[in-house]
Amino acid sequence: MNAKNNAARVAVKAKPCQKQAASPCAASLPTWQQAMVTALSFAQYSLEGLVRTRCADKDWDDRDVDIDMSVDLALLQIKSMRASPPNERSEFETGWYMAAAAINLCVRTFSRPDTGYFRSLDALKKKFEVLAATVEFVDEEERYGS
């Protein structure tokens, strides 16, 4: 059907509608709670992947048992936060940085820095930094706008 010949449009003498492209900046940000849930989900997924990488490492030995336990502690912290999400960003940050601290210490003390496991560990450290900054950014935008 041709827009020029549309009976309703002719009756009200309306011009054909010009679709306007939505601006990519017009999309609203998620809430800080949504950003937090996403960060927690991604952290859990990444930590579980790190555990799988360790289990597949044929050269793993007892020198790095503290790394095993620290990664498991970080995973427990993130799972706990997912099970009972914090109500305030400050609560989120406290729990988040506890898990991040465990990973930071792992990066500093892992005995084989030339391995894929170390590169995964280092990447996870960076993910923790970026995801925390993302939650903070979304919260600040939600509170104060731009």
Write down all domains in the chain, each with its CATH number in brackets. 27-144 (1.20.140)
* In contact, 135 and 29? CB cutoff 8 Å: no
Give the separation between CA 74 and CA 92, rounded to whole angstroms. Answer: 14
Length of the chain: 146
Token pair 């003498």 is found at 13
**CA quadruple 51, 64, 71, 116: dihedral sign:** negative
Helix (H) or strand (E) holding 80: helix 65-83
pTM of the shown model? 0.79
Would you give per-residue pLDDT tens digits along the chain (146 residues)? Answer: 555 556 555 555 666 555 555 555 556 889 999 999 999 999 999 999 999 999 888 888 889 999 999 999 999 999 999 999 999 999 999 999 999 999 999 999 999 999 999 999 999 999 999 999 999 999 999 888 86
Cα–chain center distance at 40: 6
